[in-house]
Amino acid sequence: MDVDYEKVRDCLRKEEEIDPSFGEDQRASIALVLGEVAATDLRATLRKVAESSPADLQFMTSVVSRHWRSFQSLDEKSRKEWVGAALLLWGSGTPLWNRALLRREVAGAITRFVEDHLRRLFDRFRQERGNVVLQKMPPRSKKDKDKFQKYLEGAYLSPGEMISEIDAARRLPEPQYPDLKAWLQRNARCLSNWDSKPAWRLNELRRMASHGGADLSEQDAIEVYDLGVWFVDQLYGS
């Protein structure tokens, strides 16, 4: 079903103007927030969804914290984003209109959430050890530098490239970047002996979710959520 989000948002806003109590209903409140999805950053929208129902936010935060230890390692903004994603995927207040598209958008937000935390880890390494690694390397022309060396000099690494570098750091007998291997063993020990297949599966689902119009099933969305939990556990050592 095609949806004109601008018209949906305008209709919801007009109804709120006519009936001020309209936005007090939880479902209406979430619908009003979702009306902004097409025009705003979805991660910010997830926080708004979580904040739209303080009772649900408190309940979900307590439950998720009890059953997922690494959740407590996340900052407050990240915890709200995760709770917002869960509420949109399974909450009773989520509007039924165009639910398939909503699943794809929220699943994409979860993969970007994981990417953000993985990138924080790599950026820490670059800040703490990047210059040391570069000083050990022989001079190379720009075209001969690999992607990780370019990253240490300030370039971009995609999620798949970061996963590849973690795998490469585990290669025996000696990885190309032993400093990265040693640093990961100290700061993200689970990544030193992980099975990267789930990480590659999450990366595959990330591409599916990011392609406009691509269908993402309910099972796919659940898998993204579960893989996201697994990946954060790898990053924070649970």
pLDDT string in tens for the chain (238-residue length):
344 545 555 565 555 556 655 555 555 555 555 544 443 577 888 898 899 889 989 999 999 999 999 999 999 999 999 999 998 888 776 666 556 667 888 888 899 999 999 999 999 999 999 999 999 988 877 777 899 999 999 999 999 999 999 999 987 778 889 999 999 999 999 998 899 999 999 999 998 887 665 578 889 999 999 999 999 999 997 5
User: With 0-12 CB in 10 A as exposed, 13-18 as middle and 19+ as buried, what is 12?
Assistant: buried
pLDDT (0 to 100) of residue 224: 95
Radius of gyration of the chain (CA): 21
pTM, to two decimals:
0.78
pLDDT (0 to 100) of residue 177: 92
pLDDT (0 to 100) of residue 13: 55
CB contact set of 49 (below 8 Å; sequence gap of 6+)? 30, 33, 34, 84, 87, 88
- CA distance linking residue 100 with residue 110, whole number of Å: 16
pLDDT (0 to 100) of residue 147: 92
pLDDT (0 to 100) of residue 193: 85
Tokens 């009936």 belong to residue: 19
Contacts 24+ apart (CB under 8 A), 6-9: 6/38, 8/35, 8/97, 9/35, 9/36, 9/38, 9/39
Whats the size of the chain, residue-wise?
238
pLDDT (0 to 100) of residue 135: 93
